């Protein structure tokens, strides 16, 4: 089992990925930017929808009046109109997806895993992913839009491997829809 995890982790670290240039101004690259869907975050007002499946949604609310634009992320149970989990993040470089009942969310390079059904943080004995967050490239700052995650003990599974697209927000621009 350990050898399988090591092998999957190595694959995740070297796996190819897609990314998009983060423009200095959203209006300069409308073809790369998709308008974000909006959602009402119960008790918090409108937010930008990043991921949804069934009656669960992940949304962010960005305070653009402050620098560096602190962001709150929420897991919303839309059927009960309630927030299951929320976290205040230090930046507005946030990506998320829901895969196999797990919310995967990154605040730039800091990753969180949350049960989509309960809103509880999920730990793992070991977790490996190929997510690079915001990174510099010859053509400018880039945001990664897909990821591979391998974990040992995530959500009670001995070994799990996830590959999925991401939707993110950076500098007020939404990418990946």
Structure tokens belonging to residue 41: 């975050």
pLDDT for 62? 83
Dihedrals phi, psi of 15, to nearest 5 degrees: -65, 145
Kindly report the three-state secondary structure assignment for every residue of 108-174: CCEEEEEECCCCCECCCCEEEECCCCEEEECCEEEEECEEEEEEECHHHCCEEEEEEECEEEECCEE
Percent of the chain with pLDDT over 90: 55
Which residues of the chain fall short of a pLDDT of 70? 1-15, 26-36, 64-69, 177
pLDDT tens-digit readout, 84-100 = 999 999 888 899 999 99
Sign of the alpha-carbon dihedral angle for 45, 40, 91, 58: positive
Q: For position 118, what pLDDT does the model report?
A: 97
37-73: b (≥16 Cβ within 10 Å) or e: eebebeeeeebbbbbbeeebbbbbbbeeeeeebbbbb
Query: In this predicted structure, what is the pLDDT of residue 63?
Result: 75
């Amino acid at each position: 089992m350990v050898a399988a995890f090591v092998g999957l982790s190595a694959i995740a670290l070297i796996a190819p990925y897609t990314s998009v240039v983060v423009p200095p101004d959203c209006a300069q690259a409308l073809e790369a930017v998709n308008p974000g869907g909006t959602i009402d975050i119960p008790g918090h007002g409108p937010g930008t929808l990043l991921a949804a499946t069934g009656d669960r949604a992940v949304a962010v609310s960005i305070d653009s009046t402050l620098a560096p634009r602190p962001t709150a992320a929420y897991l919303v149970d839309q059927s009960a109109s309630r927030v299951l989990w929320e976290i205040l993040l230090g930046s507005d470089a946030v990506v998320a997806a829901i895969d196999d009942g797990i919310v995967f969310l990154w605040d730039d390079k800091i990753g969180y895993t949350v049960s989509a059904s309960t809103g509880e943080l999920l730990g793992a004995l070991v977790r490996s992913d190929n997510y690079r967050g915001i990174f510099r490239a010859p053509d400018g700052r880039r945001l990664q839009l897909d990821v591979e995650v391998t974990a040992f003990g995530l959500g009670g599974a001995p070994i799990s491997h996830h590959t999925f697209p991401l939707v993110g927000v950076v500098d007020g621009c939404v990418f990946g829809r």
